[in-house]
């Protein structure tokens, strides 16, 4: 298995042409047990490789427009690379790739990936394969392979001098050369993604929290910093431990409809969440990801990240907004799942543990969140907090599976609760319950009987 360990990127953004010219030097390592001769690099379908070479080895390559076999609507520039001498286990290789072109959006497949290069707003990110992504051409593998990567980066981005480059790393320096400006960033911590935004940003900064706001929205920056601080305080007190790794935090505003992403150093959020106090849940959600335990599931169900982040978002809203809002959203989650099951009854046959394998990970936002709500309701605040903090502490440096979460549940709450969770995850009984109108208490009584 070849994975990236470091990116050294240079990008020249030409917003008036809607194009970019770039060179990427990627340090790769074979983390597998066998020599590897062939591997894939994925690029946006609007980008073309002009040169590809390896410093330590001879390589040949080909590039072609290709579709993912398990998501045929998603098309990328597939670069197939072949080493002359196979890369041995543990061996390192440095790949140099020069490429240019434009960024094509993927709205027809991923509605939030509206990415493009323009003077108003440019976004370069993993989601659109806007830089060389080392990954197999298979969605089922990609959704676990990419988030499991951990690499450092150094990036230099040249733009017209009236524009600002934003990144979640540390700004090393800014160099003005005539009508151009070069922004240099380095990663604060190893990450699995690179995000670069270019616009007429205004920077709002307080202590170790920085906000890149679009020109029209800079007045909201201070409010967001205050929201981040009070939400972090709530999570730290509620969970009982701070974020495993804190190096400050950066928020970058995205245009409407561009989704949102987060890593351990910051987040990108849609302008609606940026402006509207009633949409603050998006920020609470991304901050909750700071406490996520990494998954080592073969096909991640997304329970350990998205279900946890969504439920803790709801707990934060309950704390800051009120119980009524919390209960209304919990009820809405169940109603939404019922409607989904009516349209597609097949989802009632799939256990939550299989969501990654069957590409149903969006269900973890609903089903996984409801599992945590039921568990919390039954065992109460004291034991739920202890369960979550013990699980995070136990897997602070090591990834986990659903079985690991079940085992910690048994340690904290007893074998019966662990066995019930096992049924929730690996059986379809919970999703069948969720689509029914049976009350919570009745279901839990039935479950306790079933594990004895």
pLDDT in tens, the chain (452 residues): 899 999 999 999 999 999 999 999 999 999 999 999 999 999 999 999 999 999 999 999 999 999 999 888 999 999 999 999 999 999 999 999 999 999 999 998 899 999 999 999 999 999 999 999 999 999 888 887 888 889 999 999 999 999 999 999 999 999 998 999 999 999 999 999 999 999 999 999 999 999 999 988 888 999 999 999 999 999 999 998 888 888 999 999 999 999 888 888 999 998 988 888 888 888 899 899 999 998 888 888 999 999 999 999 999 999 999 999 999 999 999 999 999 999 999 999 999 999 988 889 899 999 999 999 999 988 899 999 999 999 999 998 899 999 999 999 999 999 988 888 998 999 988 899 899 887 776 766 666 666 55
Task: Please report the pLDDT score of residue 451 as a whole number.
Answer: 54
Determine the pLDDT at residue 196. 97
Predicted local distance difference test score (pLDDT) of residue 204: 95
pLDDT of residue 59: 96
pTM as predicted: 0.86
Q: pLDDT at position 244, please?
A: 80
Q: Strand order in 2-14's β-sheet?
A: 47-54, 92-101, 19-30, 2-14, 152-160, 180-186, 170-177
Q: Quick one: pLDDT at residue 69?
A: 92
Sequence length of the chain is: 452
- Could you give the CA distance from residue 130 to residue 328 in angstroms, rounded to a whole number? 39
Residue 181 has what pLDDT? 97
Query: Which domains, from first to last, does the chain contain?
Result: 1-199 (2.60.40.1730), 201-291 (1.10.390.10), 303-450 (1.10.390.10)
pLDDT of residue 243: 86
Residue 273: predicted pLDDT? 84
| pLDDT of the residue at 449 | 60
| pLDDT for the residue 401 | 95
């Amino acid at each position: 298995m070849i994975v990236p360990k470091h990116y050294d990127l240079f990008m020249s953004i030409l917003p008036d042409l809607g194009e970019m010219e770039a060179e990427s030097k990627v340090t790769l390592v074979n983390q597998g047990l066998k020599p590897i001769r062939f591997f894939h690099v994925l690029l946006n379908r609007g980008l073309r490789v002009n040169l590809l070479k390896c410093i330590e080895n001879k390589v040949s390559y080909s590039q072609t427009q290709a579709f993912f076999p398990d998501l045929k609507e998603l098309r990328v520039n597939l670069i197939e690379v072949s080493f002359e001498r196979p890369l041995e286990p543990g061996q390192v290789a440095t790949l140099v790739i020069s490429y240019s072109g434009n960024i094509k959006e993927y709205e027809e497949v991923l509605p939030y990936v509206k990415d493009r290069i323009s003077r108003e707003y440019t976004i370069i990110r993993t989601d659109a394969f806007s830089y060389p992504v080392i990954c197999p051409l298979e969605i089922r593998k990609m959704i676990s392979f990419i988030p499991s990567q951990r690499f450092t980066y150094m990036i230099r981005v040249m733009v017209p001098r009236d524009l600002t480059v934003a990144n979640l790393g540390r700004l090393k320096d800014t160099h003005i050369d005539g009508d151009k400006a070069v922004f240099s960033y380095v990663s604060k911590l190893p990450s699995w993604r690179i995000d670069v935004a270019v616009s007429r940003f205004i920077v709002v900064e307080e202590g170790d929290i920085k906000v890149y706001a679009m020109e029209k929205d800079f007045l909201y920056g201070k409010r967001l910093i205050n929201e981040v601080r009070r939400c972090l305080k709530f999570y730290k007190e509620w969970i009982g431990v701070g974020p495993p790794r804190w190096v400050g935090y950066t928020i970058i505003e995205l245009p409407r409809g561009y989704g949102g992403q987060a890593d351990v150093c910051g987040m990108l959020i849609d302008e609606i969440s940026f402006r509207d106090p009633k949409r603050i849940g998006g920020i609470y959600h991304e901050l909750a990801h700071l406490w996520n335990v990494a998954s080592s599931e073969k096909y991640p169900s997304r329970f350990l990240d998205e279900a946890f982040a969504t439920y803790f978002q709801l707990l934060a809203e309950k704390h800051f907004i009120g119980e009524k809002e919390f209960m209304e959203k919990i009820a809405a989650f169940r109603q939404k799942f019922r409607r989904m099951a009516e349209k597609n009854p097949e989802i009632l046959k799939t256990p939550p543990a299989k969501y990654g394998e069957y590409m149903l990970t969006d269900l973890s936002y609903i089903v996984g969140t409801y599992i945590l709500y039921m568990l919390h309701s039954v065992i109460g605040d004291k034991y739920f907090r202890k369960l979550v903090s013990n699980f995070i502490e136990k897997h602070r440096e090591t990834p986990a599976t659903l079985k690991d979460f079940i085992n910690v549940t048994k340690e904290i709450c007893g074998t019966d609760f662990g066995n019930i969770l096992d049924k929730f995850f690996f059986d379809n009984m919970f999703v069948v319950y969720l689509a029914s109108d049976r009350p919570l208490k009745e279901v839990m009584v039935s479950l306790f009987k079933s594990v004895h």
